[in-house]
Structure 1
Amino acid sequence: MKAHIIERSAKYSLIMIWVFSITVALPMVLFRRLYERHWKDHVELWCDDDWSIGALQGTPEPTIAFHRPARMTYYTIICLILFIFPIVAMIGAYCGIIRTLWLNEIPGERLTHDVSGQMKMKRKVVIMLIFILTVFSVCWFPLQISILYSEYRSDPKMMGKWYDTFYFLARTLAFSNSAINPIIYAGFNENFRKGIKSMCGCYKKPRWTAIARIDSFRSTTLTATSKTVLAIQPRTCGAGAIVIFNNKEIELKQPSFKRGSILLAELVAIKLVLDYVSRIENKTLIEEVKIFSDSQTAIGILTLNWKIENHRSTSHEIISLIKSIQKHHGIRINFDWTPGHADVRGNEIADKLAKEAAKEANQIQKEAHITVTKQDIKTAARILVNKKWQHRWDNSDTGRFYYNFHQTDKG
């Protein structure tokens, strides 16, 4: 999910944030003073706000009195601006994110049990957002309590040493929030955790790695999102994979045009790798085959027994091939998800191969008549519905504030 904020609005927002921050902190510059207290053996220096206006009435000796109404008002506003309002804003923004996650469906081929994988990812995002909000509240709450206590207390006498200690710890905890947030973001990232384990020697890098990647190719007519044209020319796909073995890179690709779909190409890309493994003569050198794919659906079908409507024969063939390799050669075959287009060299090579195969499939399709599949009709209908929804969303008079952050249902 991406926030689509135009560049000009972002610049204005940054300027407003800086102006607002300077305005809020300006009283601290105007009323902050350095004080000295001369003792017999040393000079004590400290900084404090100088809101004094005279002597406190009813005391035997003149005592510095604070202009409490102005000071109390200022620190109360600071508490609202820097603590209460951010919490309210975070709750509102996070509720919008959660609502979008739960209402928007991930486009692609519909499966019977793919909801469990999607729900797992959604729950992970929700847990992270709740964790960030909780940490922010816990870190800043003690400091706000200490400030408000010092301003609203009825006893005008100087507070004891316990307050200085509590105030110091509260400030330290509040400022540590900026250091904790990156740890939270990184802790929820699987690649970061693997990197930490690898640095500590707890993560064993596989000796044999295969990276599978798929891509789809649509003709110019097909991308016009015309329902009639889509019915005439269904999409074509290409499968590509890059295998790294014995310091060699083997490029594999195959066009997919018969009842072509994205999922079919994803399965074919994985099958290309397994077919190559089965053709290797000396398999004793291989302990583990690790296949990286950007398709959680394909991985779920092969490892979690997800049910699908189409391409059952292909998935069953791959599962049988996996069992055969494991049984006869004792090779471990594991799958791992990797994000697509993440500047990973193996992904980029496999992506190029998949596009080349897709172009070949498109050329073959032009020379042959192919029956329109049920999935092609579903895809055309989904594109048409999304197009109509986007048109209404762009021209609606309501929800304009949210529109600045979420202008499209894609991405």
Structure 2
Amino acid sequence: MRYGVLGLGAIAPYFLKAIERCPHSTLAAVCDLDPAKTESLAKDGTLAFTDYRELLAAGVCDAVIITLPNHVHAEAAIAALDAGVAVCCEKPLAVTSAEASRMAAAAVRTGTTLFTAFHRRYNHHLLALREALPEDRSQIAKLTVRYHENILEHIGGDRWYLDPERCGGGCLIDNGPNALDMAHVLVGGLTLVGARLADVRAGIEYVAELDLMSQDGVPVRVELDWALTTGETKDVVAELADGTVLRADMLEGFTAFKSSLRHEYDGILADFRDQVAAGRTSCGTGVEIVRLVEDAYAAGRGERRRSKLPARTKVVRLLFHTSDKRGMSLSEWGTRCVSAGEIHELVTTTDRPRGAGDRIDAVGFLGFVEFQEGTVIALGDEVRLADGRLVGTVAGFDECHFPNHYNVVIASDRLWTATSAAIRPGDEIRFVEG
């Protein structure tokens, strides 16, 4: 695989060394605004650029690694995907969930791999803890992830980390994605319960505390700190229902500063190559983690908190047709209670029904889904595919087939079907409070 590395700041050396160690990889090109950084690497056939668009146009790379400031991840990644170049993007995937969703959509549209580099998920100690945990995750009473460091010891000359416009925030958006992904590796999908931001300096939080809940009901605590005077603590503690305490210290046995990163970045490249070889376009937990960080900022800043958990559904039957004269009718109900195991039909519409009795003619049929947990579906709920793409928002319910099932009417900018959504039986579709 011929790599291009975009951005030669504090993180880039770990990728460059991993490329050197891999017999199946070649450094084809590097790009940075500072020519002094590229000159030393422009040798043995490696080309140097100061504009990533020129690098992409040169056609010398099969893949690019993005270690640019967070606020330009989206534009650089989408440009690469549009050029048919696979993307390995340093965490966070993007600053906002809207940007992350656009990136994920570009990967699906172009059939090109988009991959988020969460290096801690490849740490030997974390993986050993995952194997030691009980298969029944409900036996975990609590999980605590700590990510504490002195940020000034880690950023080198990359002052953009301390610029909220370019970084997107502070410790929450920088260390938070790794910590949240570590928890995801251990207990699966997460929902935010609450968040606190503290030690705010010039608009940047140096302390953040997050409380979350896994899909299996495991309470998760994430503690982030950028303000240690020296040293670092990066570990996970799992407390089991029987009183057993299991711990993974990410830095145990790695005595030199950042020496644990060697095997972790080797893991990133190996996993990325496998994803490309398999032709996968999904960015894994990338979009989900961006959304959790976004929710945590909203909660920590005192913005409106979510009032319910997201609801997962599983596609059990695909539908492929559209109609412009369906003749559905919007019911009077703005919310419906749904029990786990119920099956309902998802119907998209470009009409704009607003009240009871409004006729709905232009429709596209996604399919039937089984709800995996009890929930309340409400007007305005977002309906999202597994890769984060937004199908639309709940406009109401049609009861022409009730009590067999509801038609959940989803307002969208186009008529979605199972074909256009590229979904398969067993895929997950989520209802998330808007």
* TM-score with structure 1 setting the length: 0.21
Which structure is higher in strand share?
2
Q: Which has the higher contact order (CA 8 A, sep 6+)?
A: 1
* TM-score with structure 2 setting the length: 0.20
Which structure is higher in helix share?
1
